[in-house]
Amino acid sequence: MILHIEDRYSEQEIYVFYRDHYIRVPKIIYQYGYAQGKDVVKLWKGMEQISLTIDSNNPIYERKLSPKLRYINDNKLYPNYKPVDITSLTFDIEVYNRRGFPDPNHDKIISIAYVYEGREEVISEEDEGQLISKFFDVIRAYDPDILVGYNIEEFDLPYLLKRAKLNNIDINSISRYDLPVLSNIIPGRIIFDVYNLINLMSKFSLLDLDEYSLSHVYYKIFNEKKIELDRERLWEIWDRDKKSVIAYNLSDAKATDRIYKKFLPLILELSNLSKMYLQDLIRSYSSKIVENLIIAEGYDKFIIPDEEYREEDSYQGGYVLTPNPGVYNNIAVLDFASMYPSIIVSNNIDYYTYKDGEFLKSPLGLIPSILKNIIEQRLSYKAILRERKDPGLEAKVQALKILANSFYGYMAYRRSRFYIKEGAEKVTQIGREMIKNVISIANQSGFQVIYADTDSVFLLYKDENDVYEFLDRINNKLEGMMRLELEDLYVRGLFVAKRDEEIGAKKKYALLSKDGKIKVRGFELLRRDWCQLAREAQQQVLKMILIDNNPSQAIEYVKNLIDDIRNHKIDYEKLVIYNRLYKKIGSYQRVMPEVAAAKKLVDAGWDEKSLLNRVIRYIIVDRQGRIADKAEPLELYLKNNLKYDPEYYIEHQLLPAITSILSSLGYNDDQIKSGFKQHRLL
């Protein structure tokens, strides 16, 4: 089994890493284009094959395919990982520093925890040299294929290597072979950063996170708290109570290991299916993953186009029906299974099949043939899973779903190699026609359609059987792999008006299912830029409306909450607002609260670079000025013992989240306000 293929060690050679040996192969760099080493390349345009002699007069093809990618595809050396064959060691380091951030030039490592195949241990020595040596002994003894950790690429690994060097320890001794350890590269071992994994899983919508810290991620996934410790005071705690630092260290390593193990089957399946090595996949993103698969599948038959820059060129997307605000009973939600992937396959929409403004009926294009295969595989595995349980197969089904859903976006992505805007446009156009068709047939059949978004419709029904009949009628007319499915039947549902408007808000609703669960979409309670206080209150009010049908109970509940806020009874954790910073602080046109909060962190000594792409946490404090002026980063709020602004949390967080729901029930603003005010006077 090949673990990884690496081309970064040398200008001339590619390294293929197996577990107990590696081989080196020369990089082949072609001066004029490339096609299996021949002079004549097969060029496919409109699915017609053209032969072309490559010489200095003719265009250069595939010049931007890296030698590594060519080597893998020429020799068909694709990954084939099996979870049982892979050994991994998860570790975490703790550092002793009295102020600010740990500095590898001065602050020593005091403790290293690791987990390996169920064994867990903490190495903690007074002498840092001995500590690191012992850990290196462990790595050599267990000889893991993968080194796992949380943010190890940015922090633990470079820190460890730097400290090892300062202690005159040979860092190359943890290399598997006679190749040197470079920063972040340990020859023969895959560096697997769970932080990258979490980001990838979030992009695939498998995780929904307020922030990306280990504690938060662990809690969100397992609903358990790991041991917490104030990192700023870690040195102090170490001086008087080493045991609790050691326990904390181990807790972090175990938490990281548990997250890693949970997602490993899926990530290995994704790796095998997308033909991308684990080391590359974990640092990648969905467009690169799909691209890798398309290149692998099309390599022998097609010239792979270069990446190119294109100007923005937008087009129309899915159809969304405006709902009327209010409460509805007996709602059926129907949706098309894998709508866009199915449209791509059924209509042969592809970079190569586009000719004279249309998509050829045959032969099957590259993306459609890959997608067809993926959809069919997934359906057959799902059929097996209905017969028996099989966790390995479940991971495969999930990985296939992730891949299938990535193709449409990739062909519409302006920097994609296989960009075909006409294709993306065609996909959404057919999608719009299909959903509008379902809506009109539903209306003709006597159903009231209350909402629709892209591939789903919500309709009111009197008898369940009418819904099943309707589904059959639609599906009998549908061709190919298109299928309309029953997502679920709901007892009740709520749609709200847009803020300060009469018409209903799209992409915002709550549904009560038969088993008493509430399915919420779009509401503030799902948004990390609303504080927990407002989110929890909205959740409660939704329950009181949808389950108990008791609006006055909701008003009473909110009244009490307002009192608690005024009396400063609210725990600071419920007041934190989260916002991710996507740009450099200086490049914002408007200083929004999260930008102002980030600025305050930088002023207090935080490294600006470390804040980019991170979630900023802030609380609105009691002070004069704009909201931005009042936004205090959590770290400084706690450090300086500040007080939150009750009026902000009442007027800008709690009430907006609640009144949109109550006003959709027919209460006007005055009634709601007086409901709260009455109490204020008491």
Partner DNA sequence: GCGAGCAGCGTACCT
Partner DNA sequence: ACAGGTACGCTGCTCGCG
The reply on whether position 673 binds DNA by CB under 7 A is: no
Q: Which of 652, 663, 665, 667 binds DNA (CB under 7 A)?
A: 652
Residues 283 and 276: their CA atoms lie apart, in Å, by 11
What is Dmax (Cα atoms) for the chain? 90
∠663-667-669 over CA atoms, to 5°? 70
List all residues 6 or more positions away from 641 whose beta carbon is below 8 Å from its beta carbon. Answer: none
Decide if residue 286 touches DNA (CB under 7 A). yes
Q: Is 660 in the site for DNA (CB under 7 A)?
A: yes
* 436 near DNA (CB under 7 A): no
Whole-number Å distance between alpha carbons of 319 and 329: 24
Between CA 437 and CA 235 the distance in angstroms is 66
Q: At closest approach, how far in Å is the CB of 578 from DNA?
A: 6
Q: How far apart are CA 602 and CA 79, in angstroms?
A: 44
Binder to DNA among 215, 244, 330, 454 (CB under 7 A)?
454
Q: Nearer Cβ to DNA, position 172 or 429?
A: 429
Q: Is 505 in the site for DNA (CB under 7 A)?
A: yes
Interface with DNA includes 517 (CB under 7 A)?
Answer: no
Report the C-alpha gap between 405 and 290 in whole angstroms: 10
For residue 17, list its beta bridge partners: 4, 22
Q: Decide: is 623 part of the binding site for DNA (CB under 7 A).
A: no
Please, what is the Cα angle at 557 between 554 and 562, to 5 degrees?
A: 125
Neighbours of 382 (CB within 10 A): 15
Q: Near DNA by CB under 7 A, which window of 2-10, 98-106, 237-245, 581-589?
A: 581-589
**Residue 193 is a binding residue for DNA (CB under 7 A):** no
Which span (15-23, 203-211, 540-548, 674-682) binds DNA, by CB under 7 A? 203-211
- Between 144 and 593, CB nearer to DNA: 593
Residue 641 Cβ vs DNA, minimum distance, rounded to whole Å: 23
Of residues 408, 490, 606, 676, which one binds DNA by CB under 7 A? 408
Query: Considering only CA atoms, which of 472, 522, 456 is closest in space to residue 494?
Result: 522
Closest CB 47 distance from DNA, rounded Å: 24
Angle, helices 214-222/242-274, rounded to nearest 10 degrees: 70
Binding flag, residue 641, DNA (CB under 7 A): no
Query: Contact with DNA (CB under 7 A): which of 24, 64, 165, 626?
Result: 626
- Give yes or no for residue 663 binding DNA (CB under 7 A): no
Contact region for DNA (CB under 7 A) — 193-201, 296-304, 525-533, 559-567? 525-533
Complex with DNA: residue 287 or 513, whichever CB lies closer: 287
The tokens for 601 are 């962190």
Out of 86, 592, 612, 665, which residue is the one contacting DNA (CB under 7 A)?
A: 592
Contact at 8 Å (CB) between 271 and 281?
yes
304-323 residues in contact with DNA (CB under 7 A) are 314-318, 320, 322
Interacting residue with DNA among 590, 624, 641, 682 (CB under 7 A): 590
Distance of CA 468 to the CA centre of its chain: 35
Q: Which stretch binds DNA (CB under 7 A): 283-291, 556-564, 565-573, 601-609?
A: 283-291
Q: Environment class of residue 353 by beta-carbon count within 10 Å: exposed (0-12), middle (13-18) or buried (19+)? A: buried
Closest separation in Å from C-beta 365 to DNA: 18
Burial of 32 (0-12, 13-18, 19+ CB in 10 A): middle
Q: Which of 45, 507, 623, 639 binds DNA (CB under 7 A)?
A: 507
Question: Is residue 456 at the binding interface for DNA, with CB under 7 A as the rule?
Answer: yes
In the complex, least distance from residue 40 CB atom to DNA, rounded to whole angstroms? 34
In the block, which residue shows the tokens 């399915």?
519
> Least distance in Å: CB of 219 to DNA?
16
- Quick one: which segment of 264-272, 540-548, 600-608, 624-632 binds DNA (CB under 7 A)? 624-632
Residue 206 touches DNA, criterion: CB under 7 A: no
Q: Is 204 in the site for DNA (CB under 7 A)?
A: yes
Angle separating helix axes 669-681 and 551-566, nearest 10 degrees: 50
Task: Report DSSP state, residue 605.
Answer: T
Position 301, amino acid = K
Site for DNA in 335-394 (CB under 7 A): 335
- For the record, the structure tokens of 566 come out as 């005024």
Binding status of residue 398 toward DNA by CB under 7 A: no
Distance CA 143, CA 150 (A): 20
CB atoms within 10 A of CB 161: 20
Dist CA 595 CA 653 (whole Å): 19
Measured at the CA of 547, the angle between CA 542 and CA 551, to 5 degrees, comes to 60
Residues 367, 373: Cα–Cα separation, whole Å: 10
Binding flags for DNA, 60-99, as an x/- string (CB under 7 A): ----------------------------------------
CA–CA separation, 412 and 422 (whole Å): 9
d(CA 344, CA 657): 40
Q: Is 632 in the site for DNA (CB under 7 A)?
A: no
Strands of 66-145, DSSP E: 88-95, 109-116, 119-123
Candidates 9-17, 274-282, 496-504, 671-679: pick the segment binding DNA (CB under 7 A).
496-504
- The pairing of strands 88-95 and 615-620 is unpaired
Binding status of residue 326 toward DNA by CB under 7 A: no
* DSSP codes joined into one string, 370-437: HHHHHHHHHHHHHHHHHHS--HHHHHHHHHHHHHHTTHHHHHT-TT-TT--HHHHHHHHHHHHHHHHH
Stretch that binds DNA, among 154-162, 250-258, 453-461, 552-560 (CB under 7 A): 453-461
680 near DNA, judged by CB under 7 A: no
Q: How many residues bind DNA (CB under 7 A)?
A: 69
Minimum Å distance from CB 363 to DNA?
25
Piece of 264-272, 351-359, 372-380, 515-523 that binds DNA (CB under 7 A): 515-523
Please state the closest distance from residue 621 (CB atom) to DNA, in A.
13
Q: Which is nearer to DNA, 47 or 661 (CB)?
A: 661
Nearest to DNA of 223, 589 (CB atom): 589
> Between residues 173 and 322, which has the closer beta carbon with respect to DNA?
322
**The one among 31, 51, 552, 589 contacting DNA by CB under 7 A:** 589
Please say whether the beta carbons of 135 and 112 come within 8 A: yes
Q: What is d(CA 381, CA 339) in angstroms, rounded to the nearest whole number?
A: 19
Q: Residues 368, 515: contact at Cβ < 8 Å?
A: no
Judged by CB, which is closer to DNA: 82, or 643? Answer: 643
Residue 248 interacts with DNA (CB under 7 A)?
A: no
165, 203, 301, 569: which one binds DNA (CB under 7 A): 203
Alpha-carbon span 218 to 129, nearest angstrom? 32
- Given the rule CB under 7 A, which residues bind DNA? 203-205, 208, 285-288, 314-318, 320, 322, 335, 405-406, 408-410, 412-416, 424, 428, 453-456, 496, 498-499, 501, 505-508, 520-522, 526-529, 578-583, 588-594, 596, 615, 626-629, 652, 656, 660
